[in-house]
Amino acid sequence: MASELKIFSGTAHPVLAKEIADYIKVPLSDVLVKQFPDGETFVKINENIRGRDVFIVQPTCPPTNHNILELLIMVDAAKRASAERITAVIPFFGYARQDRKDQPRVPITAKLIANLLTAAGVDRVLTMDLHAGQIQGFFDIPVDHLYAKPVLIRHLHQKKLTDNLVVVSPDVGGMKMAYSYSKELDVPLAIVAKNRVSATEVEAMELIGEVKDKNVLLVDDISETAGTLVSAARLLRNHGAKKIFAGVSHAVLNAQGQKRISESEIESVFSTNSTPFAQGDKVTSLSIDEIMGEGILRIHHNESVTSLFDV
């Protein structure tokens, strides 16, 4: 018989943690997480978790360093309280874009975070739409990698936005993701070849494919400043696209990103609520409580999570 399931929330996204707990129909477990005046984090678990199956919900979104360290401290507290198994539920995995040495003398920070989580005592990781799928291999513990696609595509069908549609990848790196959407929706695929000017500025260069008189769905995994999406939308409009939408797995939108979207050619951005920053004018936040909740339940009962990939 499976041990009792316990769900804890860090301070990164308590609203999502509550939605997941409500879906599973278990109360959020009692934990005190606070900061001392000098910035140090203090954690105290206020209930018995000895021999329990513990899940800690904490997307490592901004403030990224703080949220990562808070997660590590919560894991250590659970480990020292004799939890039977600790699963880190990380809907958005920070530092995922630092997954390789693309310049001399730079770190592979995604691998460092994987090492830190394992060293702290995490037994398993549940995450969604990693920027680079190979990050799963950075861990020496099991990683269950879910996808936002079923959530976003279900919303498209509900809003009847699949007619006369072309799926567009806003850069060459996102082609595989965009192809999976186009295949699922049975619609054509196009690609925007971009040139990144800086961390916040993107210059869209060229369109591969046909969008004239078509509705367009831009698909991306992460949007922060929205530079990629907005420049791609401008290019698509210049090539005759009609309505332009965007589907984003993780909207980590700052003030600049929200302003850009508000003033852009994009009619609406659909994003999951993997972070609390999926908000702003033209931004629709879609809850991942069901897919993450089902993932937790299946891990808890030692069942397969593969069917959660189905739309």
**Tens digit of each residue's pLDDT (9 = 90 or more) over 166-221:** 999 998 888 999 999 999 999 999 999 876 666 666 665 789 999 999 999 999 99
Distance between CA atoms of residues 126 and 190, nearest Å: 31
How high is the mean pLDDT of the chain?
A: 94
Residue found by looking up tokens 């003398």 in the block: 105
pLDDT bracket for residue 55 (50, 70, 90)? very high
Q: What is the DSSP string of 25-71?
A: T-PBPPEEEEE-TTS-EEEEE-S--TT-EEEEE----SSHHHHHHHH
Active site residues per annotation: 194
Kindly give, in sequence order, each residue whose CB lies less than 8 Å from that of residue 248, ignoring residues fewer than 6 positions away. Answer: 219, 220, 221, 222, 223, 229, 269, 270, 271, 272, 278
Distance between CA atoms of residues 207 and 192, nearest Å: 5
pLDDT bracket for residue 74 (50, 70, 90)? very high
Distance between CA atoms of residues 248 and 174, nearest Å: 11
pLDDT tens-digit readout, 276-302: 999 999 999 999 999 999 999 999 999
Q: Which domains can be identified in the chain, with CATH numbers?
A: 5-147+289-309 (3.40.50.2020), 149-286 (3.40.50.2020)
Segment 6-30 shows an average pLDDT of 98
